[in-house]
Amino acid sequence: MDFQLTKEQRDIKKAARKFAEGEIRDIAREYDQREEFPMDLWKKACNLGFVGVYIDKAYDGPGLGFFEYALITEEFWRVDPGCGCVLLTAFGTDLLQNFGTEEQKRKFIPPIPKGEGIMGSAITEPDAGSDIFRVKTSATKEGDSYVINGTKMFITNGSIADYLAVYCLTNPEAKSRYERYSFFLVEKDRPGFQAKKLKGKLGIRASDTAEIILNSVKVPQENLIGGKEGQGFPQVMDLFNINRVIAASQGVGVAQGALEQAIAHVKGREAFGQAVGKFQAVQFKLAEMATMVEAVRLLTYQAAWLVDHGEKNPRLIAMAKWLAAETGVRVSDDALQLHGGYGYINEYDIERFYRDSKIVEIYEATKEIEKMTIARHMLGKF
């Protein structure tokens, strides 16, 4: 067992930190306030190879792993979670890489790491979130095409994506509910495709989120991911497993960033004749925060490392995702408290971190669903 990062991983982490400090810190508040996706930042992040780091060299990616993706995510989110979401523009390329036909991989993956395209994955619907068996967007075969009808909700990159992987019901009569679904690639310029940007999010406001309406959208059979109907359920589980590791690294990053802001503040702020950071109660709080961050970082690294070594361990991934998310929320809350009244004003970044942290407890499965996964793996059928 080796707890050291390799030289290459240390270099990647350092480069990601330098980029985040240099390119994100100064623009973060503005993009949060404007609720706008930072296009220039996304381009720069692609040019430097930060987007889709796990994409194979065969598809024009850097050919690294999910561990490296987690490291970069942590560094971007440490500086700003909202702008850190530029990394999510590759969301779905992992699905294509793992399950797509060779033709689909060659056509749809290469534009993403090069900054020539944006992708997303659309599973959630207005009436189907945690319970994905309620998904009713349908894809019906007509000759050599499929016709898609339905509405997808809360889709990251929805109004800026060039194409989305859309989770559809193809075989409603299949005996096993696990064989009823399929993923399709849907390009934004297909007639009947409509994206409505959602505004007014609590946090990660620089990230694009949209409702997608699919009104008799016709896609060719070649857009059925993997080329075979009924494969959607194992594919979506794989997508969730991998991306929950990344969500965990978001939790680590937001918590680390909040902790550092708290440390800086308590060293400078005085009360009762001394710096606030000299009070033992404050020191104990910081010690607890730092210990939690370190613990979830280890759990997240372990889950990410296992993914790169061929083991997508749903129990461990759910543990990492839940605890890192909760730690992000708790540490941001504690850090805001340590700022006193200044924490409540948007002049200080901690106000934004407090809002941004919450999303990790919700997307890529809520923390309750993560706990269900952990319990199911412990208890089995009884």
Ligand X SMILES: Cc1cc2nc3c(=O)[nH]c(=O)nc-3n(C[C@H](O)[C@H](O)[C@H](O)COP(=O)(O)OP(=O)(O)OC[C@H]3O[C@@H](n4cnc5c(N)ncnc54)[C@H](O)[C@@H]3O)c2cc1C
Query: Which listed residue (74, 75, 326, 364) is catalytic?
Result: 364
> What are the backbone angles phi and psi of residue 221, rounded to the nearest 5°?
-55, -30
Cα–Cα nearest to 240, from 94, 372, 126, 136: 94
Q: Which is nearer to ligand X, 289 or 365 (CB)?
A: 365
Q: Which is nearer to ligand X, 207 or 261 (CB)?
A: 207
For the bound state, the minimum distance from the C-beta of residue 264 to ligand X, rounded and expressed in Å, comes to: 29
Q: Which is nearer to ligand X, 197 or 269 (CB)?
A: 197
How far apart CA 90 and CA 242 sit, in angstroms, is 13
Sole residue written with tokens 């509910």? 177
Contact at 8 Å (CB) between 211 and 152?
yes
DSSP code at position 198: -
For the bound state, the minimum distance from the C-beta of residue 10 to ligand X, rounded and expressed in Å, comes to: 31
How far apart CA 297 and CA 275 sit, in angstroms, is 29
Q: Which is nearer to ligand X, 130 or 291 (CB)?
A: 130
Q: Please list, residue by residue across 293-329, b when 16 or more beta carbons sit within 10 angstroms of its beta carbon and e when fewer do.
A: beebbebbbbbbebbbeeebbbebbbbbbbbbbbbbb
Residue whose CB is nearest to ligand X in the complex, by number: 129
For the bound state, the minimum distance from the C-beta of residue 165 to ligand X, rounded and expressed in Å, comes to: 9
For the bound state, the minimum distance from the C-beta of residue 167 to ligand X, rounded and expressed in Å, comes to: 7
Q: Is 364 a catalytic residue?
A: yes
Tokens encoding 129: 């979130």
Cα–Cα nearest to 256, from 29, 51, 66, 73: 73
For the bound state, the minimum distance from the C-beta of residue 150 to ligand X, rounded and expressed in Å, comes to: 12
Q: Which is nearer to ligand X, 89 or 156 (CB)?
A: 156
Q: Which is nearer to ligand X, 301 or 327 (CB)?
A: 327
For the bound state, the minimum distance from the C-beta of residue 243 to ligand X, rounded and expressed in Å, comes to: 9
How far apart CA 259 and CA 181 sit, in angstroms, is 43
Per DSSP, helices labelled H in 214-313 are: 232-268, 280-308
Cα–Cα nearest to 108, from 223, 201, 19, 209: 223
The site for ligand X (CB under 6 A) is made up of: 120-124, 129-130, 154-156, 201, 209, 359, 362-363, 365-366, 368-369, 372
Which residues carry out catalysis? 364
